[in-house]
C-alpha cells in the first residue's frame, strides 16, 4: 500500500520538485496550491484560508493514512521594518506561518491515531542568520524553525517527527522573481546579480530545488527515524561564514 504525502505549495519551485520526487518513490501525493498542476493529486487551496485547509485535509484523511506533510507554501518579501506596512506583514505571515499552522493542525489527528507521521517544514537559512532588507521574510522563516522544534517535542510520544529544512539561495521561480524585482527597481543587470549570488556561496553556485527535495525525502523516510526537532541546513556552506 502506498504511503500518502501532502505538500502545500507543490505546483512550482521546491514544492514541485518534492511532489515529483515523492511520486517517483511510490507515494500518493496531494498538492495543495492555488496554482493548478497536473503533477500529483491537485487540490485547489488558499493556504491562508484556515477553514479551507482543514476541510481539504480532513477529506483526504477520511480515505488515507497521512504519512508525511511537507509544509512548503510561502512567499518572499524584501523590505526593512520601516518599509513594511502592517498589511504586507499580515500577508507574509499569513501565507508563510499561518498556512503552516493550519496544515500541521489538520494532519495531527490522523497522524496521532496512526501513531506515526513525519512533518517537514521548508524554512530558510534566514532562520539561522540575518540578511539585510528581509525583516518580514526572516521573521516568518524563524517562526517555522520554532514550529518544527515545539511540534517535535509535543508529539514525540505519538512517534510523529517534525523537522525544518533551511535552504540557502535556491534557483527557483521565486528566486528569479526576486532578482527581477530588484533589477527593475535598481537598474542592475540580472546576469551580474545572478553571478554575484552564486559567488556568495562557498561552493560557488546556487542550489537546485531537486537537491532540497532529496533532503526532504530523507527526513520523511525511516532512514531519519531518529531525527526530530532539527534544523537541516542546505545552503552550499553560506551559514558557515
Nearest alpha-carbon partner for 156 in 77, 228, 82: 228
Q: Helix 13-24 vs helix 209-220: angle between axes, to the nearest 10 degrees?
A: 50
Could you list the active site residues?
137
**Residue 74 · residue 7 · CB < 8 Å:** no
β-bridge mates for residue 1, sequence order: none
Q: What angle do CA 236, 237, 241 make, to 5 degrees?
A: 150
β-bridge mates for residue 33, sequence order: 44
Query: Integer distance in angstroms from the first to the last C-alpha of the chain?
Result: 45
CA distance 225 to 118: 9
User: Percent helix, strand and coil across the chain, each rounded to 5?
Assistant: 50, 20, 30
Sheet holding 231-234, edge to edge: 41-44, 27-33, 3-8, 66-71, 117-122, 160-167, 231-234
Amino acid at each position: 500500500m502506498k504511503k500518502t504525502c501532502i505538500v502545500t505549495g507543490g505546483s512550482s519551485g521546491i514544492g514541485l520538485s518534492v511532489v515529483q520526487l515523492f511520486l517517483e518513490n511510490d507515494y500518493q501525493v496531494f498538492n495543495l496550491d492555488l496554482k493548478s498542476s497536473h503533477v500529483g493529486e491537485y487540490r485547489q487551496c488558499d493556504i491562508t484560508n484556515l477553514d479551507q485547509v482543514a476541510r481539504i485535509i480532513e477529506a483526504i484523511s477520511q480515505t488515507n493514512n497521512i504519512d508525511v506533510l511537507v509544509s512548503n507554501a510561502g512567499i518572499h518579501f524584501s523590505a526593512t521594518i520601516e518599509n513594511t506596512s502592517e498589511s504586507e506583514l499580515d500577508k507574509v505571515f499569513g501565507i508563510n506561518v499561518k498556512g503552516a499552522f493550519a496544515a500541521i493542525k489538520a494532519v495531527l489527528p490522523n497522524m496521532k491515531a496512526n501513531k506515526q507521521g513525519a512533518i517537514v517544514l521548508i524554512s530558510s537559512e534566514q532562520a539561522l542568520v540575518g540578511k539585510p532588507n528581509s525583516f518580514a521574510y526572516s521573521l516568518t522563516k524563524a517562526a517555522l524553525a520554532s514550529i518544527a522544534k515545539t511540534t517535535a517535542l509535543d508529539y514525540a510520544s505519538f512517534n510523529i517527527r517534525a523537522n525544518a529544512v533551511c535552504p540557502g539561495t535556491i534557483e527557483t521561480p521565486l528566486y528569479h522573481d526576486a532578482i527581477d524585482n530588484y533589477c527593475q527597481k535598481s537598474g542592475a543587470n540580472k546576469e551580474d546579480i545572478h553571478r554575484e549570488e552564486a559567488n556568495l556561496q562557498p561552493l560557488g553556485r546556487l542550489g537546485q530545488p531537486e537537491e532540497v527535495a532529496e533532503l526532504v525525502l530523507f527526513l520523511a523516510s525511516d532512514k531519519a527515524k531518529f531525527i526530530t526537532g532539527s534544523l537541516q541546513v542546505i545552503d552550499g556552506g553560506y551559514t558557515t561564514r
